[in-house]
Amino acid sequence: MNKTGFSAEKYIEEQSKYILERIHSGEGRLYLEFGGKLVEDKHAKRVLPGFDENAKIKLLQKMSDKAEIIICIYAGDIIKSKTRQDFGITYDLEVMRLIDEFRSYDLEVNSVVVTRYEDAPSVNQFIEKLERRGIRTYKHMYTKGYPTDVDTIVSEEGYGANPYIEVEKPLVVVTGPGGGSGKLATSLSQVYHEYKRGRKARYAKFETFPIWNLPLKHPVNIAYEAATADLKDFNMIDPFHLTAYGETAVNYNRDVDAFPVLQRILHAITGSDEGYKSPTDMGVNRCGFAITDDDVCREAARQEIVRRYLIAECSYRKGNIDKSTLERTKLLMEEVGASRYDRPVVAAAEEYAEVKREQNPERYENVVVSAIQLPDGSIVTGRSSKRMVATAAMVLNAIKRLAGIKDDMLIISPTIFESMTNTKVGVFHDKSSLNLEEVIMALTLTKLTNPFAELALREIPNLEGCIAHCTAILSDKDEQALKSLGIDITSNPEFSNNNLYSKS
C-alpha cells in the first residue's frame, strides 16, 4: 500500500559528497549547524516516503573519521523542564539520549555546551551529572551586543568571553535537543576563536526544511510551516539569493531576517568580503535532489498537514498553544485543499461511535472509538468498555485481523483480565479500564496457555507506521504506548470525562 517517493540511498550519496566538498574547500575547519532532528526525524519520514529517519546520523557515520559533535542546550530550557513532544522527555534527558545514540553509531561526542548559562540549581546539577560521567561541559554566556552591535559581538567582550571548545577534526557538527538551543552562537563563537588562533574556519547550516529547490507553495514546504506554526515561522523566497544569482530559492523568515547581521559578523571575524551571498548559500541541503516521485510526496505532505491540524486542535483544547497557532494550522490545511476527513481513520472512528450511540443511547452515550488503517488499506476499529480503553481494543482487533484470527474469538484469558483489574483496584486504587500497555501485558501472560495469543503478539511489529485516530483525547500513558509501537495517532479535541486531574 505504501508508495515510495524518495531515495534514501541517493540522498546520503548526494549529501555526503556535498559536505565533503565543503570540508575540502580550503577554508579550514567546518562548523556545521544541524537544524531539525539529527536522529529519528519522523516528520521527514512522513512527508518524504522512503526517507530513512536516521539518514542524517548514518551520513555522519560514513564520515566518522572526520567528524566530532558538540551538543548545545539552552539553560532556560533546563530550568523550565522543556519537553520534547515526540519522546515525552525533558531537553536535559534528551541530551543524554542523544549522547547514547551518537555513541551507538561510533560518533565522537566532543562536549556539551550550556548556552546563555544561568546560575540555577537545576542547571548546575545537570552540568555536574554530565561531568561525573566523563562528559566535558562548557558554559557560554549570553553574547554581549547581540544582535546589532557587531563590534562588541566580535570582540573579547562578546564571543571572546566564551571558552574555546577544544576540537581536533575537520568537521564539527553542532546540534541540540530542539530549536533555540544556541547552536548558531556556539558555531560562530568557535569560528571567532579559530581565527584568533590564526586558523581558518567556516560555518554552514544543515536544515532539511524548507527544501530550497522546491516551489514555495509545494505541500512539502507548507508541511514545514504547519510543523513550526507555534514558532510563527513562514517560508519565503530568499531575496538575497534572487539578487545575487537571479535564481529563486526557498528559505524561511528567521534565516532571511538574521542573514544581514550574520553576514556582517562573519565579515568581521574573517576580515574578508568573500563570504556567503545569501542564507541559501549557507545550506548544505540536497534533499530535493533525492525526490523520485513528486506526486507521492505531495500527497504525503497533505496528510501531514491534516495531521498537524488535528494535533493542534487537541493542543489548543489542553491549553498548550494559543488560538492563533490553531488558526494558522487550519489555514495551511485549507491552502492545500484538505480537510480533517482526508485522514481516512477520522471518519471511520466518528461513524462507528455514532452507530453505537444510535443502537443504545444510554449505554453508549460516552463511548470512545479508535480506528486504525492497516498496511493493506483496511480499517479496524475498537471501542471503550469497562474492561479496556478504546485504543487497547483497537490494537487487539488489529493484530487479530493481521493474524487471521476470528473477530469473536477471545485471545485473552478472562481470569487474567479479572486478576489484573482486581490488582489495579485493590493495590493502586485505580478503577479505570485497562490501558493499552496493560492489555498487551495480559496478552503476553495468556500466550503461555493460548497459542492464538502468541500468533496475535507476533503481528504487533506490523502496526509500525500505521495511522490511527481516536474520538477522544488520549491519556499520556496510551499516547506514549502507541508511539512506542510506531502507530501515528491523532484525536478529536474532546476529553473522555470531566475530570480535571487524571493519574493516567
Q: How does pLDDT run across 304-314, given as a tens digit for each residue?
A: 999 999 999 99
Average pLDDT of the residues in 119-130: 97
User: What does the pLDDT average to over 492-504?
Assistant: 67
In the predicted structure, residue 499 carries a pLDDT above the cut 90: no
Other Cβ atoms closer than 10 A to 325 = 17
Domain with CATH 3.10.630.10 in the chain: 8-217+234-290
State the average pLDDT over residues 163-186: 94
Which pLDDT belongs to residue 454? 94
What is the band of 429 on the pLDDT scale with cuts at 50, 70, 90? confident
According to the model, what pLDDT value does residue 498 have? Answer: 59
Dmax (CA) of the chain: 80
- Provide the pLDDT confidence category of residue 361 given band limits of 50, 70 and 90: confident
Q: In whole angstroms, what is the distance from residue 126 CA to residue 99 CA?
A: 14
Predicted confidence at residue 207, as pLDDT, reads: 86
Instruction: Decide: 201 and 31 in contact? Cβ < 8 Å.
Output: yes
Amino acid at 496: S
What are the start-end ranges of the E strands in 441-498? 467-470, 488-491
Instruction: Give the containing element (helix H, strand E) for 251.
Output: strand 250-252
Q: What is the predicted pLDDT for the residue at 87? A: 67
Please, are residues 23 and 170 in contact by the beta-carbon 8 Å criterion?
A: yes
Q: Residue 85: is its pLDDT beyond 80? A: no
β-sheet bridge partners, residue 69: 109, 173
Give pLDDT, residue 304. 98
pLDDT digit string (tens) for 5-30? 999 999 999 999 999 888 888 788 99
Q: What's the whole-number average pLDDT of the chain?
A: 92
- CA–CA gap between residue 74 and residue 114 (Å, rounded): 6
Work out the pLDDT band at 379, boundaries 50, 70, 90: very high
CATH architecture of the region 344-491: 3-Layer(aba) Sandwich (3.40)
Q: CB neighbours of 3 closer than 8 A, spacing ≥ 6?
A: 49, 293, 296
The x, y and z cell numbers of residue 237, run together, are 523566497
Burial class for 345, CB neighbours closer than 10 Å (0-12, 13-18, 19+): buried
Pull the grid cell for residue 33.
549547524
Tens-place pLDDT, residues 235-262: 999 999 999 999 999 999 989 999 999 9
pLDDT of 266: 94
Q: How many CB atoms lie within 10 A of CB 275?
A: 17
Q: Name the segment(s) of the chain with CATH classification 3.40.140.40.
A: 344-491
pLDDT of residue 500: 46
Average pLDDT on 396-414 reads: 93
What is the C-alpha separation between 148 and 264, in angstroms, rounded?
10
For residue 452, CA distances in Å to 55, 381, 480 come to 38, 20, 26
pLDDT band at 86 (very low <50, low <70, confident <90, very high): low
pLDDT at 504 over 50: no
pLDDT digits (tens, 9 = 90+) for 441-467: 999 999 988 999 999 999 999 999 999
Residue 70 neighbours by CB under 8 Å, 6+ apart: 110, 111, 112, 113, 165, 167, 172, 173, 174, 175, 186
pLDDT at 333 over 70: yes
Count CB atoms within 10 A of the CB of residue 337: 9
Instruction: Look up the CATH number of domain 8-217+234-290.
Output: 3.10.630.10
CB-based contacts of 357, cutoff 8 Å, min separation 6? 364, 365, 367
d(CA 96, CA 98): 5
